[in-house]
Amino acid sequence: MSVDAADEEIVDAELVEDGELVPVDEPAGRPLVDQHTVLLPGEHIPTSDDPGTTYTERDLYVSEETAQAIKEAEEEGSPQRRTAMGLFEAWCAEQGRVAKPCTTATYTEYGRHLMSRKLKVTTIRHYMSLIRTSMPPGKKPDNSLFLLLLTQYRKKNKRALRRKEAFPITLPYLLPMMEKAEADDRPIGWRDSAMLAFGYRFLGRSVEDVDLDLEDLTILDDMVVVWLAEDKTHKGEEQTIYLHDREDLRLVFRMRRWVGYLAEQCITTGPVFREVKRNGAVASSETRAKTATKRGDYLRPQTVNERVKLWFHKAGLKTDGRPVSSHSLRAGGATDLGMNGATDEELEEAGRWKKGSRIPRERYVRPAKDTSKDPFKKVPMHDPQAKTQR
């Protein structure tokens, strides 16, 4: 071996301390790719040897203010989601199962439990969807087995497919309800008659009605202008809605009377529809801290439901077997429009349904027309006396 060769070997060698093991070259890092990896031309396949981003604690923690905001958002949620999760958590407690995050087995078993109660398919599907979306990100259970069971349930339980739509409160029903609410000339009656008139004309869902603030309304002489930040079918899309008044509905008068009463109570901001005490005073979450709900001064959607049922009953009205609920106001407005020549586009716009939605025609207009159809009217009345007189 030449001197030059020996020098070259020494240069390439790695010096180690006595007793220290000579490191062995590690195999190349494993590729870090999955079915979602996208590489541009010229990019190399990432491996575990690639230097990663180094994070500190500051990158991992949120502030106390943000943590509180997250907590409040999680606790509020939608009333339906809270109900679904409340029932699910109670069932899990009885069964000794973890509710959140739940396993796929627990999720599937609860779905079968709902089926054993002979609930409607739409109800089961809705509740299970709310439960699944309530789970933490990345920890949602697999719903394939539940959907398999639901398919079988649908085949074996035909009655579970039946939908029971809300009875439509059209103007002939709505007007006596408002008159009954106003009969005693009390503030709670002013609120309820305004809420009934607004719900019918706004064609809104009850949660949209009770979530409105006074700042969202402009009451003019011939209309009420509503600014809506978003709704169920227009997420993140604000709208300005013009509710023209009618002589029979008297929306402007009823809304002005109620809003004026709030102003007398020094209330000019915040929710439009609020709790009213027996003495006529408007309740405040500050003065009823022990009984205040998470919604604070905002009414619960269920309150609208209860008041609609109350005044329907008080007015002595009857249905055709369909249930009365807060949704009856929305159904009533849509039915009145459809039965009086409104186009599909006009119905969609009035109720803020998605473009091309079949719901207003199929759920409200068509059933009303079907009940009025009677092909046997073409058959002349049989008069037994006419035959004996011949």
Q: How confident is the model at residue 16 (pLDDT cuts 50, 70, 90)?
A: very low
One domain, residues 286 and 342: yes
Using the 3D structure, point to which of 133, 161, 189 is the last residue of a domain: 161
pLDDT > 50? residue 8? no
Using the 3D structure, point to which of 161, 193, 224 is the last residue of a domain: 161
The model's pLDDT over 34-50, given as tens digits with 9 standing for 90+, comes to 888 888 888 888 887 77
Q: How far apart are CA 335 and CA 361, in angstroms?
A: 8
One domain, residues 233 and 346: yes
Using the 3D structure, point to which of 136, 161, 186 is the last residue of a domain: 161
One domain, residues 154 and 196: no
Q: How far apart are CA 98 and CA 63, in angstroms?
A: 29
Instruction: Decide if 105 is inside a domain.
Output: yes
CATH code, 219: 1.10.443.10
Q: How confident is the model at residue 25 (pLDDT cuts 50, 70, 90)?
A: low
What confidence score (pLDDT) does residue 13 get?
Answer: 43
Nearest to 316 by CA among 191, 190, 183, 185: 183
pTM attached to this predicted model: 0.65
Top pLDDT among 243 and 371 is at 243
What confidence score (pLDDT) does residue 20 get?
Answer: 53
The model's pLDDT over 359-372, given as tens digits with 9 standing for 90+, comes to 887 777 777 677 77
Instruction: Decide if 44 is inside a domain.
Output: no
One domain, residues 214 and 253: yes
pLDDT > 60? residue 4? no
One domain, residues 229 and 111: no
CA-atom Rg of the chain in angstroms = 32
pLDDT > 60? residue 15? no
What confidence score (pLDDT) does residue 162 get?
Answer: 64
pLDDT > 50? residue 300? yes
One domain, residues 175 and 157: no
Domain that holds residue 110: 77-161
Q: How far apart are CA 178 and CA 29, in angstroms?
A: 75
Instruction: Decide if 51 is inside a domain.
Output: no
Q: Which of 58-72, 239-253, 355-369 has the lowest mean pLDDT?
A: 355-369
Instruction: Decide if 34 is inside a domain.
Output: no
Total domains in the fold of the chain: 2
One domain, residues 249 and 179: yes
Instruction: Decide if 255 is inside a domain.
Output: yes
Q: Which of 123-127, 172-176, 317-321, 358-362 has the lowest mean pLDDT?
A: 358-362
Top pLDDT among 25 and 196 is at 196
Instruction: Decide if 118 is inside a domain.
Output: yes
pLDDT > 70? residue 323? yes
Q: Which of 254-268, 284-298, 375-389 has the lowest mean pLDDT?
A: 284-298
Average pLDDT for the chain: 85
One domain, residues 151 and 198: no
One domain, residues 125 and 190: no
What confidence score (pLDDT) does residue 361 get?
Answer: 79
Instruction: Decide if 32 is inside a domain.
Output: no
One domain, residues 138 and 266: no
Instruction: Decide if 95 is inside a domain.
Output: yes
What confidence score (pLDDT) does residue 248 get?
Answer: 95
One domain, residues 99 and 205: no
One domain, residues 113 and 185: no
